[in-house]
Structure 1
Amino acid sequence: MGELFSGPGGIALGAHAAAAATGVDLRHAWANDYDASAVETYRANIPGATAQSVIHGDVRDLDVESLPKIDGFAFGFPCNDYSMIGESKGLDGNFGPLYKYGVNVLDAHRPNWFVAENVSGLQTANAGLAFPRILEELRHAGPGYELTPHLYKFEEYGVPQRRHRIIIVGLSRENGARFAVPAPTHKDPTTWKSVRNALGGLVQSAPNNERTRQSKVVEERLAYINPGQNAFNAALPDHLKLNVKGATFSQIYRRLHPDLPSYTITGSGGGGTHGYHWEEVRALTNRERARIQTFPDTFVFKGSKEQVRKQVGMAVPPDGAEVIFSALFRTLRGEDYDSVPMNLTQMGAPSRP
């Protein structure tokens, strides 16, 4: 498997776990990312990864045709311009067009399968025109691919976090197979994994578990915010209210609810966006964020505290990736599994019942 925009390795970790569980011989071929600390993390944690095979650099400078041939390909192309938070420039932004480098890999290497990932905001970018265009280019890349785009709600697959992402699985038309969306394993909200469960048993000495020192004002503000509340719906005294017009983003100083999945863990943002413990008046540590993202404690992130926060927040949850890759590998072996209809049409719009 080759990978672009590999980040710290959430997709790869999930893919290797799925391969081990299904008896597939999955081997790392190469990966690329522009973030130096993420590259170091990937090299340190992903089976088969080396200093030579995990390439640090801008994808626009990468000679994809010279890379070793691959059977499968994964790419979580940059979501910055497709996120519903921010300017949402889509294809007109600096990052939006970078999916084309994934298309270039498909043209050059013609892998049997690929898995692409992006945020749910991809559906509405450029007035709804970006997603169909991307699907069309992926469909006709390389040997031609049968696509199965789906908006996955990872809390329905055992991830202790409400994280919704579009995953596009493509199978070469030469395979004659079609991927089916794996059925949710935790469809009933009463079965969702909670953050209390996710963070249980964490010891202070765990790697990447350094705490952020909170100011007295932040500690006082958090003390007034109940689990599940944020700085705008809690009963804060006037001197602790945030005097920012229109800034009602629901995650600002939002404390986790211990008996529910976390809200979406993010990789960037200023004060109030770090995720906050339900009981202690503090921000989450990077290890706590990593657990919510389903990285095991043995997965050690490289870089500064802020660099690690970015890596964790931008990653695909390995447990979510494992579910999708397990279904993919079973599809390639001709095995049946529980599935559901895809909820996005081939043109990118939500499918109708």
Structure 2
Amino acid sequence: MNSIEIFSGAGGLALGLKKSGFEHKAIIEINKDACKTIRSNKIFHFGKNLFEGSISDFNFMTISEEIDLLSGGPPCQPFSLGGKSKGRHDIRDMFPEAVRAIRESKPKAFIFENVKGLMRASFNDYFEYILLQLKHPSIKREDSENWERHKIKLLENEKINGDNSLEYNVIYKLVNAADYGIPQKRERVFFIGFRSDININWRFPEPTHSEDTLIWEKWISKEYWLRHKIPIPQVDEKNKSKAEKINKKYAYIKPTKKAWLTVRDTISDLPYPTDSQVKRVNDHIFKGGAKIYPGHTGSYIDEPAKALKAGDHGVPGGENMIRYQDGSVRYFTVRESARFQTFPDDFTFEGSWGEAMRQLGNAVPVKLAEIIGKSIFKSLSELKNDSKSLIRQDGDDI
């Protein structure tokens, strides 16, 4: 199936969707180092269909093939809890360009990802405006209109025409990546849309992993510590209370979902970054200078990693660090961070440590993209199969 990727960054979402069966007819990205990363990895055919430049300069009409899926992550800094939170007043708000991409390419489906901060109360009006645009991409905002006036126009269209006016049926959901087997507590909002004329009833994939099971394996069965062949820690009152609640919640029977994956689960087979064996591992280089700051103490080794951060001017202080049982910290290497974002170990990143970490902090976890992508691919495949069946039936009648 054909797809287009916009705001691709290093290609986490694009790679996951490729693994789920989609072939990119265009990959659009403006950052030079991210484009170098795309070109350095053969899975993207070394950037064969990469457009390096501003999305505003890309004409989607030039793609002749029918597009099944449009995907991307419009820049999230305008809505990030860690940023300036200018939202609709930020020149980096690229949702209008994402809507133009839908309008011009007319995909059967689309998937967009953004930060949790987009859903905060102060952005409610603009969040509703984003949804309205995604549902009615053909109703363009005129140069003379501000976004508030355009929103009124979209609302009036829905009031007059009702559901018949919908061009896309849109679902949005706040997702914690850890619930899908990604070793990172990363909450992001996903927008999934299907063209209304193809009548697909799609539901978001069910979570497969849970914190409850991790608590069970650490403090009830103790199998977590046994699996890693390390001494079982003395349970403190906080974790003892958690274990008691879990026991009662599940009537003393282990939860059926898999346990959240931890930092230790993810990187325990890698040598320490200063070890003599480290040269055999791609992008696994020690970075000094890690320090703890109030409220920023790194990711505890026996929990999923905290969400990787990507600051405009480098990694923020106290972020993207591992915190050991003795309280000491160090920065994650690029390879470790890539594992938290579920990139394969042979995937390389271009640029300095800070630039590579920025690419990783902005990426969609590959495995999560693949899970969602396979679900969408399945729905679109069933649609195509049904269409072929109808054609055969019509032929038989003739």
Deviations 1:277-326 (A, max 9, x none): 42664211111111111111111111222211111111000011111111
The equivalent residue for 2:218 is: none
Q: How much does 1:135 deviate?
A: 0.7
| 2:309 paired with 1:212 | no
Q: How much does 1:275 deviate?
A: 1.9
Rg larger in structure: 2
Within the candidate set 337, 345, 357, 1:297 is matched to 345
The amino acid across from 1:171 in the alignment is F
SS state at 1:289 partner: helix
| 2:364 paired with 1:316 | yes
Question: Does structure 2 conserve the Cα–Cα contact (< 8 Å) formed by 1:123 and 1:130?
Answer: no
The amino acid across from 1:310 in the alignment is R
Residues in 2 aligned to 1:185 and 1:106: alpha-carbon distance in whole angstroms: 31
Within the candidate set 163, 172, 178, 2:186 is matched to 163
| 2:276 paired with 1:201 | no
SS state at 1:282 partner: strand
Question: Does structure 1 conserve the Cα–Cα contact (< 8 Å) formed by 2:299 and 2:321?
Answer: yes
The equivalent residue for 2:89 is: 92
The equivalent residue for 2:103 is: 107
Q: How much does 1:63 deviate?
A: 2.7
Give the root-mean-square deviation of aligned CA atoms.
2.0
Question: Does structure 2 conserve the Cα–Cα contact (< 8 Å) formed by 1:82 and 1:88?
Answer: yes
Normalising to structure 1: TM-score of the pair? 0.78
Return closer, same or farther for 1:68/1:48 CA change in 2, 3 Å cut-off: farther
SS state at 1:31 partner: strand
Question: Does structure 2 conserve the Cα–Cα contact (< 8 Å) formed by 1:277 and 1:283?
Answer: no
Question: Does structure 2 conserve the Cα–Cα contact (< 8 Å) formed by 1:115 and 1:168?
Answer: yes
Within the candidate set 371, 377, 381, 1:329 is matched to 377
Within the candidate set 115, 118, 127, 1:131 is matched to 127
Return closer, same or farther for 1:294/1:136 CA change in 2, 3 Å cut-off: same
The equivalent residue for 2:301 is: 258
The equivalent residue for 2:354 is: 306
The amino acid across from 1:231 in the alignment is Y
Question: Does structure 1 conserve the Cα–Cα contact (< 8 Å) formed by 2:87 and 2:123?
Answer: no
| 2:317 paired with 1:271 | yes
| Stretches of structure 1 lacking an aligned partner (at least 5 in a row) | 20-25, 223-229, 233-249, 336-353
Return closer, same or farther for 1:198/1:140 CA change in 2, 3 Å cut-off: same
Question: Does structure 2 conserve the Cα–Cα contact (< 8 Å) formed by 1:277 and 1:284?
Answer: no
Residues in 1 aligned to 2:52 and 2:264: alpha-carbon distance in whole angstroms: 36
SS state at 1:202 partner: coil
The amino acid across from 1:145 in the alignment is Y
The equivalent residue for 1:152 is: 175
| 2:78 paired with 1:81 | yes
Normalized per residue, the structure richer in helix is 2
Greater RCO, 1 or 2 (C-alpha within 8 Å, sep 6+): 1
The equivalent residue for 1:13 is: 15
Identity %: 29
The amino acid across from 1:154 in the alignment is A
Question: Does structure 1 conserve the Cα–Cα contact (< 8 Å) formed by 2:321 and 2:329?
Answer: no
Q: How much does 1:51 deviate?
A: 4.0
Q: How much does 1:128 deviate?
A: 1.2
SS state at 1:182 partner: coil
Residues in 2 aligned to 1:112 and 1:45: alpha-carbon distance in whole angstroms: 28
Normalising to structure 2: TM-score of the pair? 0.70
Moved more, 264-273 or 87-96: 264-273
Number of residue-to-residue matches in the alignment: 296
Residues in 2 aligned to 1:71 and 1:50: alpha-carbon distance in whole angstroms: 23
Question: Does structure 2 conserve the Cα–Cα contact (< 8 Å) formed by 1:275 and 1:284?
Answer: yes
Question: Does structure 2 conserve the Cα–Cα contact (< 8 Å) formed by 1:5 and 1:75?
Answer: yes
Return closer, same or farther for 1:328/1:133 CA change in 2, 3 Å cut-off: same
Residues in 1 aligned to 2:282 and 2:37: alpha-carbon distance in whole angstroms: 13
Q: How much does 1:187 deviate?
A: 3.1
Residues in 2 aligned to 1:90 and 1:158: alpha-carbon distance in whole angstroms: 31
**1:10-89 equivalent positions in 2, closer than 5 A:** 10-19=12-21, 26-45=22-41, 47-69=43-65, 70-89=67-86
Question: Does structure 2 conserve the Cα–Cα contact (< 8 Å) formed by 1:8 and 1:41?
Answer: yes
Question: Does structure 1 conserve the Cα–Cα contact (< 8 Å) formed by 2:298 and 2:306?
Answer: no
Moved more, 197-206 or 288-297: 197-206
Residues in 1 aligned to 2:318 and 2:184: alpha-carbon distance in whole angstroms: 18
Return closer, same or farther for 1:170/1:261 CA change in 2, 3 Å cut-off: same
